[in-house]
């Protein structure tokens, strides 16, 4: 499904996000007040325009309310970030995602209507720490405060056994939702599926249980 995104602020984070969305087949318009950044973005994104997101008339002129999701990726100008979110919600944008540089900034963004506030530097720091502390974890998605989905390497002692043999639900209170064999992914694998050397399990469960399993060697 192709959606239309607008990314306001074409710095390192905003541009990286916009390019990833384009690579995923989505339509993306980049917005920035910096003409040089917009010129660079025009060859990479679906559209790129020079506009001031703190100006209501400028937002109307680029048809901002027609986008499914707008990401406010403005850097250190907290005032511009907050005002942009406020104006976007007043324009009727259904989903506004905003980058915050600290907790107070994030709290204000939520109060003025941001549907989702992200903290790129904090979140990346937490991800790196989690993966350092759990050496078998390759990647993870946080579902809530207590639950995650994680990709985990299998300890050597568990290879050439079936999911039924491993019985992770009984032993660790975890559910295996997929097995990755190289580039191939087996969704909802059978209990009789054998785990081969180099396989990666995609597991869902409580963080405390995932941590116990992830620390096995």
Q: What is the mean pLDDT of each run of 10 residues along the chain (217 residues)?
A: 91 92 92 96 96 97 95 93 97 95 93 92 62 58 76 83 91 90 84 88 88 75
Helix, strand or coil for residue 53? coil
- Entry field: residues in the chain: 217
Helix or strand run (H / E) with residue 23: helix 12-23
Annotated domain spans of the chain: 4-118, 123-214
Residues 29 and 70: their CA atoms lie apart, in Å, by: 9
pLDDT for position 66: 94
C-beta of residue 51 within 8 angstroms of C-beta of residue 29: no
β-sheet bridge partners, residue 95? 69
Can you give the three-state secondary structure of 107-157, one letter per residue? HHHHHCCCCEEECHHHHHHHHHHHHHHCCCEEEEEECCCCEEEEEEECCHH
b/e map of 27-59 (b: 16 or more CB within 10 Å)? bbbbbbbeeebbebbeeebbebeebebbeeebb
141, 70, 27, 56 alpha-carbon torsion, rounded to 10°: -170
Phi, psi of 146 (to 5 degrees): -110, -15
Residues 34 and 126: their CA atoms lie apart, in Å, by: 32
Residues 91 and 167: their CA atoms lie apart, in Å, by: 52
Non-local CB neighbours of 124 within 8 Å, separated by 6+ positions: none
**Domain 4-118 architecture:** 3-Layer(aba) Sandwich (3.40)
pLDDT for position 2: 79
pLDDT for position 29: 97
Helix or strand run (H / E) with residue 98: strand 95-99
Non-local CB neighbours of 174 within 8 Å, separated by 6+ positions: 168, 203, 204, 205, 209, 210, 213
4 burial type by CB count under 10 A (0-12 exposed, 13-18 middle, 19+ buried): middle
Q: CATH number of the domain at 123-214, out of 3.40.50.300, 3.30.70.1450, 3.40.250.10, 3.40.50.2000? A: 3.30.70.1450
């Amino acid at each position: 499904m192709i959606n239309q995104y607008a990314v306001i602020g074409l710095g390192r984070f905003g541009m990286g996000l916009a390019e990833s969305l384009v690579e995923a087949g989505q339509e993306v318009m980049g917005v920035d007040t910096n003409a040089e950044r917009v010129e660079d973005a025009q060859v990479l994104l679906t559209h790129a325009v020079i506009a001031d997101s703190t100006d209501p008339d400028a937002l109307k002129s680029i048809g901002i309310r027609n986008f499914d999701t707008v990401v406010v990726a403005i850097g250190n100008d907290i005032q511009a970030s907050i005002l942009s979110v406020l104006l976007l919600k007043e324009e009727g944008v259904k989903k506004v995602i905003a980058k915050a540089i600290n907790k107070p900034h994030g709290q204000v963004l939520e109060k003025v209507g941001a549907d989702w506030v992200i903290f790129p530097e904090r979140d990346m720091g937490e991800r790196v720490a989690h993966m350092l502390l759990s050496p078998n974890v390759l990647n993870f998605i946080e579902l809530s405060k207590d639950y995650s989905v994680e990709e985990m390497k299998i300890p050597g002692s568990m290879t050439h056994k079936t999911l039924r043999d491993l019985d992770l639900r009984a032993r660790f209170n975890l559910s295996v939702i997929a097995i990755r064999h190289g580039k191939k992914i087996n969704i909802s694998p059978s209990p009789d599926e054998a785990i081969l050397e180099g396989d990666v399990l995609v597991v869902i469960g409580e963080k405390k249980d995932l941590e116990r399993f992830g620390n096995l060697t």
